[in-house]
Every structure is written in structure tokens, then in C-alpha cells.
Structure 1
Amino acid sequence: MPLLILVIQGLILIGLLLKRYVEKKNASDGILVILLLITCYEQTCYTVGFMGWYDTFRATKINYFLISVGTAIAPLIFFYVKSITESNFKFRKKYWWHFTIPILLVVYRLTIFTYDALQPGFNETQNGVLKIAVDETEIAQAIFKILDFSVMLLYLAFTLQLFINYRQKIKQYFSNVFKLELNWIRNFLIVFSLLFLYSSIQTLVGDLFMELDYKERWGLNLAMGICTIYVGLKGYFTDTTKLNKLDFSFSPRHISIPENTKEVKKEIPEVAIEAIAALMQREKPYLNPDLNLSELAKQANVTRGQLSEIINSGFQMNFNDFVNSYRVNAFKSMLKAGKHEQLSLLGIAYECGFNSKATFNRVFKKLTSFSPTQYLQSLAG
């Protein structure tokens, strides 16, 4: 019953995501629909099994269509994250090769099913001649498990790297990245990583220590059902389309910045560094919580590429740390001026350009090695 309820809820969420995909054509919604459909399909197969269908109707041919879904889910996880983190993502024809293994598995099973269906007595049995002789052997089952494990491990590693690179990239572009740090994607990856770990441990126990039938594997299916609902809900209510539209490409550098690409470390003119520092002191653009690289570049009358290089090489910081260092210094100045007697620490942080408590606490601790409260106490002492 729990699995049946979770599957029905999952199908409802798939319907909502599909409706939005048809209306808005968001690639991430379409990929998530397919991913959830596959997980719900597998859950349905097990749900029907727990209802006693296969025991009652022994000629059911479901075994032909219980395919290792991990080989399909793994690349879908990767492309879901890619569809959100890549500007104006579109699923291209060349991406289909990532699904070569699951497609071959489907063709393989259909071939076996077709052959067995042509044999006499097929309608009276659950598994036909070729299914038993080829597909049900220990060697075949071991190959399927190794494929499932290897593909999932490989794509989870690729996806994690993609996510880490994206987080580093937005720090070069945005001054406040709390809303853009893709906490949803982080949780999305954690969910599937934990399911992968659970499944791997269960398979290891079943192969080396004790035989586990489908009833003893119920826990994994329950976890998958719960995760399907979580992913469906969060995927539907989390707006990630604005991330897909971000443009991180930089304009060509002007001659004022050296263009010797063979140098590992760029020599930035001192006048360029001083000009940016003077702008930050004079105009205080860091007080704008939504400040990004493009806006600051316009104020400094340089390209995004130039400004990024000045900050990275001239100040030895990424854009995020550079801007936040001014905000932290402004916060310190306000504390020394007694501003905390009128406003809370968080209120002062907002006046200095921070846009969330979490970002403020993390940044302040990173740049000063103190929490805001500890720093205030040190001033009093």
C-alpha cells in the first residue's frame, strides 16, 4: 500500500511537470519527467509484485521488461543538472550516445522476448527458453549488476564535478551567491547518491552474505518511492530557469590588459588595480546586494573579461570574495561607530549589501575567522 500511494503521487507530479514542459518548453522539466517516469515504472513493477500478481498469474512476462534502470537514470541525472547550469541548454542529437547502454539493453530484451514468443508453450510459462538459457544465467546477471554500478558511479562523479565547477563559476560573476548556489541541485545529487549507496550495499549483501528475495528488498523500493516524491515536488516548485539564462561568456580583452596567453600569471597594470579600488571606495557599489560582474564592469568602463582578470590577478581574489571583503569592512566600520546599538547585526549586514543571514555568517567567518557576534565581543573587550 505505501508503494502504491507513492507511485500514484509520483505519477501526479509527472503530470504537472509534463504540463509545464508543454507550456514553457523547459528542457529541465522534460528530462525530470523522463527520469521520474522510469523510477515510477520500476516502482510499479515491484508494487504489483507485492500485491501478489505474479504469484497468481504465473504466465506474466514482466521479467522480460525488468531492465537495469540505473543505466538510464544515471545520464538523466547528469543532463538534468547540465540543463540547469548551462546557458540556454538544448538537448542535441550528439547527446544520445550517453544512452547507448540502456537502449542496447532494451533491444537485447526485446530480441529475447520475440524469440521466446515464437516458441511453443510460451503463453503457459513466465520465462521462455532463451530467457532462462541466456538472460537468467549467473554470468548475465553479474554483467548487468556491474554495468548498473559502473554507469551510475561514473555519471554521479561527472555530475558532481559539473556542479562544483558551476559553483566556482558563479563566484567569479556574482557578489551574493546564496540564491544561486543551487541548494536544490546539491540535495538532488545527495538523494541519488544515497540511493546508489543503499542499492550497492544491498547488492553486496545479497551476493556475498545472504540471498535476498524481492520482499527483503522492499526497503530500497520504499526509499526510492519517497525520493521520487521529494524530487518531483522540489523539481516542480524550484525555479531554476533563470540560472539557465545566465551568460558567463566574457568580451574580448582590450589592449590595456596584456594578452600574452603563455604567461601563467598576468601582470596587471597598477593603474588598473588602483582605479578599481578607488571606484569601490568612492561609489560603494558593493552596497547593492544584486551586484554582479557585468554591472561593476560598466561602472568601471571595462569589459567583464578585463575586470575579472584585474580582480583575480591584481587582488588575488575571485569576484565574490572581492566584493564581500568590502561589505565585511563596511560592517566592521559600522560596529566601531556603534551602529549595533540601533540595529541588529543582521540589519547592519543588510545595509552593507548582504542579502541573507546564511551568506553573511559564512562570508564573515571565512574572511575574519570570527563569527559576527565574536567580533563584536572582541571590540567590547
Structure 2
Amino acid sequence: MGNWKAAFFLLATGQGMLLTFALIVKGFSNKRPALFLGIILYVMSMELLNAWGMQVHYHSVPGAFAFWIFQSYLLLPLALWFLMQLTTYDNYIFEKKNWLVFIPVLIEISVNAFWRFYWRNYNSNVPSLLKNPVWFFLTELLPIIGMVVVLSVYTQRLIKLHYRFSRQQVRLGAKGLFRMYGLLFFLSILTVLWIAGVVLHLPVFAGIELLITACLFTLGYIGYADIDFFRLPQLPGISPEKSEFTMYDDATEMQRLKSAFEKDKVFTQPKLTVDQLATGLNLPVRYVSHLINNYCEANFSTFVNTYRVQEVISKLADPGQQHKTILALALESGFSSKSTFNQVFKQHTGKLPSSYLLTANSDNLLK
């Protein structure tokens, strides 16, 4: 039975690490909430890996790689806090300075690594760090306290939102309820079991391992497929940009937005998304959409493609670009394929690129 359990833990760990990597990559590219969901899954994956190690007695193997020193429970409340902020407030911006709150995690890992090195090379009789009451509080009890605080704030926000839905007689349905409460439900049960095991010394770790496995497969796949699933639903009939973005000056931000397109030519990025644009401007995604929709009277895709088409037309008229094919100019301007370019170009000009070029050349000859 132990071998089967160990194999199961190892399989779940591998699955969790793959999802962790995918979510973190996604988070650094354009979906910031995915980054913090990935960090949460990383902690859970490391917990299962540790459970595997105890099943096969890996920790006592001479020369074993001490992977457990890279596990820090402090990551959980920190990552959940930022995940909560990003999914409950559309105008929330995660700034670079916010990474400073993760410094205690690096300190914990560094101290554990040094202690492990000293134990292996100089004195194998030194006691475990966890026997030190201060260290135990900072690395075991403080993360639990942090989770309780963050989950309390998270719960209050959800209750207030749900109450507003009820007052407007809006039914969320099963999917809406799971979207709103699913993450909170999983992590609340995990925290209760965590308290029972660490504080009350109850034999609940089997339940924790089972719940972590469920979290890895359920939340991980949902987050990877659609990280916006965890964003809270909006109330109908409310224009949040009018109330949420009063701290921004529309004229100033529109200047910055146009500068990014006209001077920096961000539209030449083939897979430019509104999330990437918002990150570059250090603005909320919905506020950027609000600017484009209201001041440019276009959606994001049309707005970007307008600049791309204008760029192609400009290059077609440039004698220094005459040695290049139309497709090459299109790719340089941000289009990802010939078919997309032809379709978009015709929508904006009423002609296919080849026909447009023939007409332009004919006009030049007449001049």
C-alpha cells in the first residue's frame, strides 16, 4: 500500500509542477493572476513531494537532495493575497515593488540551505530549526495566521458581492457560484486541516494530501485553461470604469496610449494582447479597454489592426521598401499570417492588398 501511495504522490507532484510552470510562464507573459495561482500550486506540489519522501524514507538517504528546503509556507498567504486583489479588483495593479514582500521567503530558504550545509559538513548533531520556538512561529504558525487573515478578507468581499447580486435579483447559477466560492472553499478547508495538524496535532495529514491532490488537478487545470475564470462576475447595468478609474486622467492616459502606438509601434508585436498593452502602460486592463472603446470608438482588435494597415500602406509608398514583398511588409507591421492580413486589409480599405497596390501605382503614373 505504501508503494502505491508513494507512486501516487510522485505522479501528482509531477502533474502539479507542470501546471505550476505553465501558470507561472503565463503569469509573466500577460496573465498576472496565473502567476500567483502557480505559486500556490508550487507550494502544494512541494508538500506532496515531501509526503512522497516520507513514504519512501528519502530524507534519510545519504547524499539525498534536500528539495524540502525550497518549500516555504509563507508563499501561500502572500500569493493568495495578490491573487485575491487581481481577481476581485479590475483596477488593481501589481507593481514591481510588491515583490519586496517575498523577501522573508528568500531569507527562510537561505537559512534552511545554510543550516543543511552546516549539518552535513560540520556538525550533524545540531538540532532541527523547527525546534527553535521563534523559527517555528515564523515558518509554521505565521503562515497559518496569514492564511486566516487573507481568507477572512476574501470571504467578506465575496459576501458583499453576493448580497449585491441578491438585491438585484441576479441568479449566478452553479457555475457562477463555483467561480465565486470554489477557490475560497478549497483553501479554507485546507487551512482548517492545516491548523488541526500543526496546532492541535491531530492526524489529518492524509486528508490534507487528498485535498491538495484535488486542488492540483481541479484548480490547476481551470487556471491554465482560463485564468479569468477566477475573476469575480460583474453586476449587470453597472459602468465600473466611471467609478473605479476616477484616479486616472483620460486625456493624459490617451496620450500615453497613442504614443505607445505611434512612436513605440507596439502594434508590430504579432500577438499583442490588451493584457500586454496594459502591463506596458502600467494601467488596469479594463481601463485600457475603456479608453479604446470610448475615445477611439473601436474594440481592441480593430484599434490595433488600423495601425497595422496604416503602417503597411505607409511602407508601400516608401521607395526604400520597394524591394520587399507585400507579405514581408505585413509581417513587419504585426500581422501573423497572409490570410489574416488580406482579410483585415480589405475590411479597412475595401480592396485586397494587390489591388490596392495596382491602383496606387496607376495613380502615381498618372501624376
Q: TM-score range by the shorter chain?
A: 0.5 to 0.7
Pair 1:251–1:191, CA change in 2 (3 A) = closer
Return the offset for 1:134: 4.9
- Alignment match, 2:18: 12
Amino acid at match of 1:232: G
Secondary structure of 1:232's partner? Answer: helix
For normalisation by structure 2, the TM-score amounts to 0.52
2:189 aligned with 1:194: yes
CA contact (8 A) 2:10 2:52 kept: yes
Distance 1:33 1:45 in 2: 18
TM-score normalized by the length of structure 1: 0.50
How far apart in 2 are the matches of 1:29 and 1:240?
9
- Distance apart, 1:68 and its partner CA: 4.4
Counterpart of 1:40 (choices 36, 45, 49) is 45
Note closer, same or farther for the CA distance 1:168–1:249 as it changes in structure 2 (3 Å cut).
farther
| Distance 1:76-1:169 versus aligned 2 partners, 3 A rule | farther
Residue 79 and residue 99 in structure 1: after superposition, are their counterparts in 2 closer, same or farther (change >3 A)?
Answer: same
Q: Which is bigger in relative contact order (C-alpha 8 A, separation at least 6)? A: 1
Between the aligned partners of 1:10 and 1:178, the Cα distance in structure 2 is 30
Number of residues paired by the alignment?
Answer: 235
| Partner of residue 213, structure 2 | 225
Relative distance call for 1:37 and 1:140 in structure 2 (3 A) is: closer
Structure-2 change in CA distance of 1:28 and 1:175 (3 Å):
farther
Aligned to 2:301: none
1:2–1:222: 8 Å Cα contact kept in structure 2?
no
Over 3 Å counting, the alpha-carbon distance change for 1:221 and 1:177 in structure 2 is same
**1:88–1:245 contact (8 Å) kept in structure 2:** no
Aligned to 2:107: 104
Unaligned runs of 5+ in 2: 1-6, 245-289, 291-367
Would the aligned equivalents of 1:10 and 1:228 in 2 still touch at CA under 8 Å? yes
Q: C-alpha offsets along residues 71-116 of structure 1, whole Å, 9 cap, x if unaligned?
A: 2111211211221222254321342354354333223323434544
Seen in structure 2, the aligned counterparts of structure 1 residues 185 and 251 have a Cα distance that, compared at 3 Å, is closer
Counterpart code for 2:208 = L
CA gap 1:59/1:14 in 2 versus in 1, 3 angstroms: closer
The 10-residue stretch of structure 1 (176-185 or 31-40) with the greater mean CA deviation from structure 2: 176-185
1:46-57 → structure 2 map (5 Å cutoff): 46-55=51-60, 57=61
Percent identity over the alignment is 15
Choose the corresponding residue for 1:65, options 46, 69, 81: 69
Structure 2 residue 141 is the aligned partner of structure 1 residue 141 = no
State the distance in 2 between where 1:182 and 1:94 align. Answer: 34
Please name the residue that 1:248 is paired with.
240
Aligned equivalents of 2:185, 2:78: Cα separation in 1: 16
Kept in 2, the 8 Å contact 1:167–1:181? The answer is no
Alignment root-mean-square deviation, CA = 3.9
Look up the equivalent residue of 2:42 and give its one-letter code.
L
Residues 201 and 5 of structure 1, relative CA distance in 2, 3 Å threshold = same
Contact kept? 2:46, 2:68, Cα under 8 Å = no
Write out aligned runs for 1:234-245 (5 A).
Answer: 234-238=222-226, 240=228
CA separation of 1:158 and 1:101: change in aligned 2, threshold 3 A: farther
